[in-house]
Amino acid sequence: MRAAVLTAGDSNPECADFPDPEPLGDRPLLTMVGAGMHPVVRSIATGTHYGSVYRYPLIPGVDAVAERPDGTLVYTGYTRAPWGTMAEHGSSQMRV
């Protein structure tokens, strides 16, 4: 999939290919519609937030509006690393 990818905490995101997240159980992949770039997203992505995973490459993003396979729009978040919401598809582990 295409995503905004960070390769280091001090780098700028670049549009690049990134492996799709794997579905977990019966939860489908979500199609991202829009995601915000707010201060907590930046601090987690750069490694300055206590919740940072410090593993690169990663896709930044914490929350988003996403579309389920049936077309329903949902607000979602709590992604599993290294996937964030600034991508074409979201992890099936997101809470909706």
For 45-96, what is each residue's pLDDT tens digit?
A: 888 888 787 789 999 988 899 999 899 998 987 778 888 899 998 765 555 4
Quick check: is 22 in a domain? yes
> Nearest 5 degrees, angle CA 46-CA 47-CA 48?
100
Quick check: is 31 in a domain? yes
Provide the domain limits for residue 51: 2-90
Sign of the dihedral defined by the CA atoms of residues 90, 91, 94, 96, in that order: positive
Quick check: is 59 in a domain? yes
User: CA-CA distance, 9 to 48, in Å (whole number)?
Assistant: 9
- Residue-wise pLDDT for 7-31, tens only, equals 998 889 999 999 988 777 787 888 9
Quick check: is 40 in a domain? yes
- Residue-wise pLDDT for 35-46, tens only, equals 988 888 888 888
Quick check: is 96 in a domain? no
Quick check: is 95 in a domain? no
Structural domain count, the chain? 1
Q: What is the pLDDT of residue 36?
A: 86
